Structure 1
Amino acid sequence: MNSDYYISSFCSIKNNTISLNGSKVYSDENIEFSEFIKAAYKSLNTNYPKFFKMDALSKLAFLAADVLLKNENLNSEEENDIAIVFSNKASSLDTDRKHQKSIDNEEDYFPSPAVFVYTLPNICIGEISIKYKLFSENSFFIFENFNAQHLLDYSSSLLATGKTDKVLCGWVELDGDQYDAYLYLVTKTGTTTHNKKNIIKFYNT
């Protein structure tokens, strides 16, 4: 398998800070996640009104992807051949809890459909795909911990078999007040080699 693929850019959101390629683009240390992510959306001029209806996991993934893909100067009016490979530990557990609570609070068993629609972790992929017209392969994997080797192998396979031109990869974890997003874009040309060492290095940046 061809290993000559490259990381063109990466974005992380953690500790109330958003970074692009290692440089801080937004930070607010004194507010909880729900307020932080809304404030970041407004500050970064994100244009996607449905954002405010998303669950917390989708907001986290969407904003990280939006920061990264805007930096790539993609044309959101045309279809982009970019696959998505995401992973996390908690799946959609944060939203699952809210869904169960809405069931428990309804005497006639009529849970909130607005919450129910987000009870799968891969729904966040759909939101990103709609905004940037990404209609290639997509997958969401659940691991106990961040799995750089799997991201490397799976994305390289997609590129090597010609299923896509680029791959948006990463880890998007949210459980209660704990969250951690790290996304990066793999391309066929560039200067930073897509290997396990660099994936982990940028994750820890």
Structure 2
Amino acid sequence: MNPSYHIKSFCSIKNSQVSLNGNVVFESNTDSFSEFIKAAYKDQNTKYPKFFKMDNLSKLAFIAADILLKNENIDSEQDHNIAIVFSNKSSSLNTDRKHQESIQNKESYYPSPAVFVYTLPNICIGEISIKYKLYSENSFFIFDNFNAEHLLNYSNSLLSTNKANQVLCGWVEFDSENNYEAFLYLVAEDGKIKHSKQDIITLYNT
């Protein structure tokens, strides 16, 4: 008989507001994502100097993951068997646009390496994995819309085959300064919320 899995905690970021398990932990009046995410970094006492060199998608995913994992008392100094399964619609399009602009910039002989390195969406997974020493499987999927069923089935498969003890799942979408959204949740055998398609959708829409 397959074990049942549960959602331990979840974090959402949208409209200049950060929520953890349904409770607002930080909000700002600014419409600028860049200003908002830097303020959230400072407010939540995040410690990762490389954060300021990341692209916007990575900053969004990193802050959501950091807040959630700290809440779960995941020690960044120890190795953890936590897989990561992310998804979005735009891939790394926002950074791709910036990279293309740097190529077409007649004042610059070469495109920016600092921008080019983030022209893959799964780079944000790497930043989180470095900070929290996560060496389990990871994947980044592209869908037209939030796909709760895929996250459910893929993460349950990782857990049931013992490829991970926990899975950090979710949706991290960044298209522009005022069009972004993150919804991450941690699933394991223990937790208060059943890991079902309907429960995932309910939390996502909260």
**With structure 1 as the length reference, what TM-score do the two structures score?**
0.97
Amino acid aligned to 1:199: I
Work out the percentage of aligned pairs sharing the same amino acid.
70
Q: Is the 8 A contact 1:15 1:29 kept in 2?
A: no
Aligned to 2:150: 150
Aligned to 2:84: 84
The 10-residue stretch of structure 1 (90-99 or 26-35) with the greater mean CA deviation from structure 2: 26-35
Aligned to 1:27: 27
- Aligned equivalents of 2:106 and 2:62: distance in 1? 30
Aligned to 1:181: 182
- Aligned equivalents of 1:129 and 1:108: distance in 2? 33
Q: Secondary structure in 2 aligned to 1:189? A: coil
Aligned to 2:193: 192
Structure 1 segments unaligned to the other structure (5+ residues)? none
Deviation per residue, 1:20-43 (Å, 9 max, x gap): 000000000234101000011011
- Aligned equivalents of 2:41 and 2:85: distance in 1? 23
Deviation per residue, 1:82-134 (Å, 9 max, x gap): 00000000000000000000001146751000000000000000000000000
Structure 2 segments unaligned to the other structure (5+ residues)? none
Root mean square deviation of aligned Cα: 1.1
Q: Secondary structure in 2 aligned to 1:101? A: helix
Q: Is the 8 A contact 1:10 1:184 kept in 2?
A: yes
- Aligned equivalents of 2:64 and 2:146: distance in 1? 17
Aligned to 2:52: 52
- 1:9 matches 2:9: yes
Q: Secondary structure in 2 aligned to 1:172? A: strand
Number of aligned positions between the proteins:
205
Q: Is the 8 A contact 2:95 2:118 kept in 1?
A: yes
Deviation at 1:75, TM superposition (A): 1.2
Deviation at 1:150, TM superposition (A): 0.1
Aligned to 2:72: 72
Deviation per residue, 1:21-73 (Å, 9 max, x gap): 00000000234101000011011100000000000000000000000000000
Amino acid aligned to 1:200: I
Deviation per residue, 1:132-164 (Å, 9 max, x gap): 000000000000000000000000000011100
Q: Secondary structure in 2 aligned to 1:57? A: helix
Amino acid aligned to 2:198: K
- 1:204 matches 2:205: yes
- Aligned equivalents of 1:30 and 1:73: distance in 2? 30
The 10-residue stretch of structure 1 (189-198 or 82-91) with the greater mean CA deviation from structure 2: 189-198
**With structure 2 as the length reference, what TM-score do the two structures score?**
0.97
Closer, same or farther: CA 2–29 of 1 in aligned 2, 3 Å = farther
- Aligned equivalents of 1:192 and 1:49: distance in 2? 34
Q: Is the 8 A contact 2:3 2:189 kept in 1?
A: no
